[in-house]
Amino acid sequence: MSLSKDSRIGRSAILLVLSDDKSEELEKIKQLDWKCCTGKVGSMEAHKVVAAIETAAKKNEIVETGLYRESHALYHAIIESLHGVTRGQVQLGSMLRTVGLSFAIVRGTPYENKNEGEWIAVSLYGTIGAPVKGAEHETIGLGVNHI
């Protein structure tokens, strides 16, 4: 039932989002036969962050378009990741702040027991702050869900 040390899906998603050169992490994910994608989104509206990640996940076939079960798993992983980014209220522009984020989505099998099946991890890294250039600090988030 344990998390396998070599297949920590959350750690993988964070290292992927943090890497300037993503080739090493991408290679590891490929070796594990997992799926992933990365992208960027900047917005004052939280729903645009959600939409950008959902679109990337569908376009890159990380989740199956039209299968609600998978969208539901992804949605909750995104919102959990946004909790780390926003730290209290999942709000951006309505609290006069904006984000510039990179994201990574990884889908794989982090547990040794094969019956644990597939899980999805959504990581976010970037800046949050006032809508003024430079008036911002770093922020991170991670959501993990069974899929």
Nearer to its own copies, 33 or 138 (CB): 138
Nearer to its own copies, 42 or 136 (CB): 136
Nearer to its own copies, 33 or 114 (CB): 114
For its own copies, the binding residues in 116-135 under the rule CB under 8 A are: 116-117, 119, 121, 123, 125, 127, 129-130, 132-135
Q: Please, what sign has the CA dihedral across residues 64, 45, 144, 75?
A: negative
3-state SS class at 113: coil
Alpha helices in 6-94 (DSSP H): 9-18, 23-31, 46-59, 68-86
Min dist CB 138 to its own copies, Å, is 3
The set of residues, in sequence order, having a beta carbon less than 8 Å from that of 52 and lying 6+ positions away, is 39, 41, 43, 103
For its own copies, the binding residues in 28-57 under the rule CB under 8 A are: 45-47, 50-51, 54
3-state SS class at 137: strand
Structure tokens at 16: 């992927």
* Interface positions with its own copies (CB under 8 A): 1-3, 8-11, 14-15, 18, 45-47, 50-51, 54, 66-69, 71-73, 75-76, 79-80, 83-91, 93-97, 110-111, 113, 115-117, 119, 121, 123, 125, 127, 129-130, 132-146
